[in-house]
Chains A and B, each alone.
Chain A
Amino acid sequence: MNQAGTLSSSLPSERRDIPRAALLWLLVIIAGGIWTVLFPVPAQGLPLQSPSWQHWLGTDLLGRDFGWRLLAGGIHTLAVATAAACLSILLGGTWGMAAGVSGGWIDRVLNRMMDVALSVPALILALVILAALGPGEMAVAIAVGVGGAATFARLARAEAMQIRNREYFLASRALAARGIRMMRSHLLPNIAGPLSAYGALHFGWALVNAASLTFLGFGGSPSAAEWGRMLGEARLVFWQAPAQAAAIALVLAVTVLAVQRIGRWGMERDGR
């Protein structure tokens, strides 16, 4: 944090360690998810039981082990959000790099497309895509990923335009390097840092939106454990078992906070 003052705010802030608690939380979720893959599904019991030795956190409305589903849902939710964030970075990065490097009318067209995409809320774009793809987890990941791509395009374009006029880039162009090769060897290494730092911050957004969409029933098959959908199910039995909805909301909120902290740490380390 910058101290109160005047000029210090323009100096780079001191380097901080990665937030350990946030990282630990994500590791626990991933480890829990791996656990549920390696070990067999606990036997189904009676619906809505309270915690017992058989079912540590009780059972859900269909008698499935709630704790197990909470663990299985975590890695599932993270996977959907990761897929969405990666798609945003890949799509937006390519889009922005192509615009920033080529310049001229290609840049103008691609840049106009960014303007339009950015002036529509990402969620509306996601819903349009979802309307086309139909429900399903893959569709949710694609919708959220494409919906968030334009922000990365803007970022990548700005970075690419800076690099375009650097000496090494001009030199490599003078040596007749073209297209893909230029992007791979000169642009990508320079753009990857800022893009992934912002990507970590964006990941929290993707997580919330993917979970919201699955909560609303866009997630497809109801049997797979996923936090958004589980919250939707827990809502139905809220009056009988409020603790289940509370548990899901809690892990969801803590995960979003953890991801945000790591994202902000990444941005600060990147010096912005």
Chain B
Amino acid sequence: MSFLRRLLEGLIVVWAVATLAFFALRIGRVDPMAALLSQGLATGQQAADMRRLLGLDRPLLAQYADYLSGIARGDLGRSIFSGQDVAGMIAEAAGYTVPLAVVAWLLSVIFGIGFGAVASRRDERGTRGRIGRITGALLAIGAATPVAWSGLILLWASVPLLSAAATEPVRAAVRLLMPAAALAVTVGCSIGRATESSIRQSRGEPFRLAMQAHGFPRGIRFDWRLLRAYLAPLLALAGMEAAFLLGGTMITEVVFARPGLGRMLVDAILRGDYPVVQAVLALAALGYVFFGIIADFAAAVLDPRLRDG
């Protein structure tokens, strides 16, 4: 069955990323003990003790075996720097990042598909109106805007909003919406551009010809009968944009000084906190694979041409 096969392939990908991260970090040049020593957080003796305690002095393959059996038992190890349980750290950080990513993703899908549809509009003779041209240009600009910059603008805008907000729930909403909107600018605009080209390309397709033969107008209209055909490739893209959200949350969380997975990953990589980096990267791969499978599944439900067998 293709679903099971897809699942198995996904698990292999996650394993490959986890393994790659494991060996890359240990063969690599970043030594967490050097970071501890240089920051004066440990003496040479303490660093050596720590190395032994973490098992970093043992052969690589033995460490790898421990790591895999730990994952199987749900034990992701402890952070070299804070000594906290990595699983607990991830759970805590995910509490900040997941709402951010979900809101950003929803905003970008809704606005992206909406503006993409507007930008793709043609009149009867197939020429693009002024609104379409302007929307198209805005989408191109938005997709090229660095997340850091849209973040700074929205951070700046959120200050008066926060002081104007009367109640705590409103303030919490602003604190979540602003960084999510910053992320959604770039992601939403690239979804919008993909929507536009997807609608444009479908003009030559047989089902469009059949629709015209049935008296459906030639110009581009946004119609639910078309939406089904457009949504399938867009869902695949929206799944892929989940990957961009990881990079985006790293930047947004740094700009807005929000705690979360992205910021945790940046700090951990810079300091060489092996267990944290490994776990977050494997988690990112897991999420990516998971959303990819869901997107494929949904696409097959929507578009009968994509169903196999």
A binding-site residues for B, Cβ under 8 Å: 2-10, 115-116, 119-125, 127-135, 204, 208-209, 211-212, 215-218, 231-232, 235, 238, 242, 245-246, 248-249, 252-254, 256-257, 260
A4: chain B residues at CB < 8 Å are 122, 125-127, 203, 218-219
Q: List 12 A-B contacts (CB under 8 A).
A: A6-B204, A123-B247, A128-B17, A131-B21, A209-B247, A212-B148, A212-B251, A238-B155, A238-B156, A253-B144, A257-B144, A260-B140
Among B61-69, B92-100, B285-293, B300-308, the stretch in contact with A: B285-293
A227 to chain B, nearest CB (A): 9
- Cβ-defined contact, B145 with A131, below 8 A: no
Chain B contact residues: helix, strand, loop or mixed: helix
Per the bound structure, the CA–CA distance linking A43 and B251 in Å amounts to: 33
- Is residue B294 within 8 Å, beta carbon to beta carbon, of the partner chain? no
Determine the residue in chain B with the shortest Cβ distance to A136: B29
In the bound complex, do residue A134 and residue B125 qualify as a contact, i.e. CB atoms below 8 Å apart?
A: no
Question: A127-B269, A235-B255 given as contacts; is B9 within 8 A of A119 (CB)?
Answer: yes
- Nearest B-chain residue to A246, judged by Cβ: B149
Closest to B122 in A: A4
Q: Are B244 and A123 in contact (CB under 8 A)?
A: yes
CB-defined contacts of A246 to chain B, threshold 8 Å: 149
CB distance from B302 to the nearest CB of A (A): 22
Q: Is B164 an interface residue (CB 8 A)?
A: no
Q: Which residue of A lies closest to B151 (CB)?
A: A235
Q: Please tell me the number of chain B residues within 8 Å of chain A, measured between CB atoms.
A: 57
Q: A121 to B284, Cβ gap below 8 A? A: yes
Complex: A128 Cα to B20 Cα, angstroms: 7
State whether the Cβ of B134 lies closer than 8 Å to any Cβ in chain A: no
| Chain B hits for A124, CB < 8 A | 17, 243, 246, 281, 284-285, 288
Q: Which residue of B lies closest to A121 (CB)?
A: B243
A120 and B265 contacting across the interface, CB-CB below 8 Å: no
Residue of B nearest to A112 (CB): B12
Contact B24 A131 (CB under 8 A): yes
The CA-CA distance from A232 to B270 in the complex, in Å, is 16
Name the A residues within 8 Å of B10 (CB-CB): 119
Instruction: For the complex, give the distance between the alpha carbons of A123 and B127 in Å.
Output: 38
The chain B residue sitting closest to A9, CB to CB, is B204
The distance in angstroms between the C-alpha atoms of A96 and B14, with both chains bound, is 23
B28 is an interface residue with CB less than 8 A from chain A? yes
Q: Is the CB of A116 within 8 A of B146?
A: no
Q: Taking the nearest CB of chain A, how far is it from the CB of B257, in angstroms?
A: 11
Q: Which of chain A's residues have a CB closer than 8 A to the CB of B284?
A: 121, 124
Q: State in angstroms the CA–CA spacing of A253 and B144 once bound together.
A: 5
Check A131 against B269 for contact (C-beta < 8 Å). Answer: yes
Q: In the complex the two chains form, is A231's CB within 8 Å of B219's CB?
A: no
B204 near A132: Cβ-Cβ < 8 Å:
no
**A253 / chain B contacts, CB cutoff of 8 Å:** 141, 144-146, 149
Residues on A with C-beta less than 8 A from B140 are 257, 260
A256 B144 Cβ-Cβ under 8 A: yes
